[in-house]
Amino acid sequence: MVYGDERDSFRIGSYRGIPVFLHWTWILGALIVLAVGSFDLLAAIGLVLGATLVIFVHELGHAAILRAYRGRVLAIAFFAWGGECRYVDEDLDPLQRSVVAWGGVLGQAALFAIAWMVVGTRKRFGVSFVDALVWAMLAMNVRMMVLNLLPVRPFDGRHALSLPLQVFRRYRARRTAEDTLKNVRRKGHLRLVGKDDAG
């Protein structure tokens, strides 16, 4: 789903050939967080950077799986309410689309695991910037994973939760094709119908 286009965004660079954009709403959201958190500016900056890192890793998870499927990734964009990995949808079948939807949450889970290994069970570091950054990579990250798996637009759960159904459909189609081939082999011949036989 496209929330905006490049005309509403600022290109901040690229990652492995993928253009990365900041939508104007991300800038507004960051300014609001900084203004509200002005009582502790370092914590507010840590929160904004942490949330942005979580979103970036989420979108990179989508992009990595898309590229594995040889899909075309057009851009990654950040908005005040999240991010978006823009790609050519026609490149994917329904099963691949479900796997790509899981890519974002899997990227977040990897970030959570790395942060957990680095931080351990330590709750506070005594530096507000680091505490907010760690909170974003752990607690906020888990909340964002749960939110992303809601089965409604614009969240990934809409496609991700259909993965078992897509796997079953693929399995059933393969079994039907195999059974048909076995029946043909069992009869010992394959009768081809030509134009003369069609009538």
Q: Over the stretch 52-71, which tens digit does the pLDDT of each residue have?
A: 999 999 999 999 999 999 99
Q: Tokens for 20?
A: 């990365």
The residues, ordered by sequence, that sit 6+ positions from 41 with a Cβ below 8 Å of its Cβ are 34
Mean pLDDT of 142-154: 90
| pLDDT at residue number 193 | 54
CA dihedral 32, 35, 41, 45 (to 10 degrees): 10
CA distance 21 to 77: 5
Tell me what the pLDDT averaged over the chain comes to. Answer: 84
| pLDDT at residue number 65 | 95
Q: Tokens for 89?
A: 């949808």
Helix (H, G, I), strand (E, B) or coil at 73: strand
Mean pLDDT of 151-165: 83
The DSSP bridge partners found for residue 20 are 13, 76
> For residue 76, is pLDDT > 90?
yes
Selected residue with higher pLDDT from 87 and 124 = 87
The DSSP bridge partners found for residue 96 are none
> For residue 38, is pLDDT > 50?
yes
| pLDDT at residue number 1 | 37
Q: Which residues in 69-160 belong to E strands, given as ranges?
A: 73-79, 82-87
CA distance 79 to 55: 10
> For residue 192, is pLDDT > 90?
no
Residue 50: pLDDT band by 50, 70, 90 thresholds? very high
| pLDDT at residue number 56 | 96
> For residue 7, is pLDDT > 60?
yes
Q: Tokens for 178?
A: 């195999």
| pLDDT at residue number 93 | 86
CA distance 72 to 87: 6
| pLDDT at residue number 108 | 96
| pLDDT at residue number 103 | 95
| pLDDT at residue number 74 | 93
| pLDDT at residue number 161 | 81
